[in-house]
Amino acid sequence: MDTRKILMAGLLATSVASTAVVARSNVEFELNIGPPPPIVEVVPAPRAGYVWAPGYWNWNGERHVWAKGHWLRERRGYTWNQDQWDHDGDRWHLRRGYWSHG
């Protein structure tokens, strides 16, 4: 197999893997089962260059599971909006954490 074919195969594999990750991160869903009450976590002391992302109840496809809080590298000029469940009637929707400008 020549070098060009190997390179093209590698680029194609990388492209497919990247696409799969992007597609997976955009999955949204609604439930008729709300999350349990939040677990109280001790927030560590501030850490230069980082922001604290609080823990939240995630959904693993079968049940709610606690995702522990963790540090995120700061993005200057942006604010971290934490993961949270929105309730509308009998439906629950997990709004994933995101960075907003400002």
- Mean pLDDT of the region 32-41: 94
Total structural domains within the chain: 1
- Mean pLDDT of the region 71-95: 96
11 within domain boundaries: no
42 within domain boundaries: no
8 within domain boundaries: no
- Mean pLDDT of the region 84-90: 94
CA dist 46 to 24, 38, 76, 82, 99, Å?
Answer: 32, 21, 16, 17, 19
37 within domain boundaries: no
* pTM, rounded to two decimals: 0.69
92 within domain boundaries: yes
pLDDT of residue 1: 53
Q: Which residues contact residue 84 at a Cβ distance below 8 angstroms, ignoring those fewer than 6 apart?
A: 56, 94, 95
Cα 41-46-47 angle, rounded to 5 deg? 115
Please answer whether residues 56 and 79 qualify as being in contact, where contact means their C-beta atoms are separated by less than 8 angstroms.
Answer: no
6 within domain boundaries: no
Domain that holds residue 86: 47-102
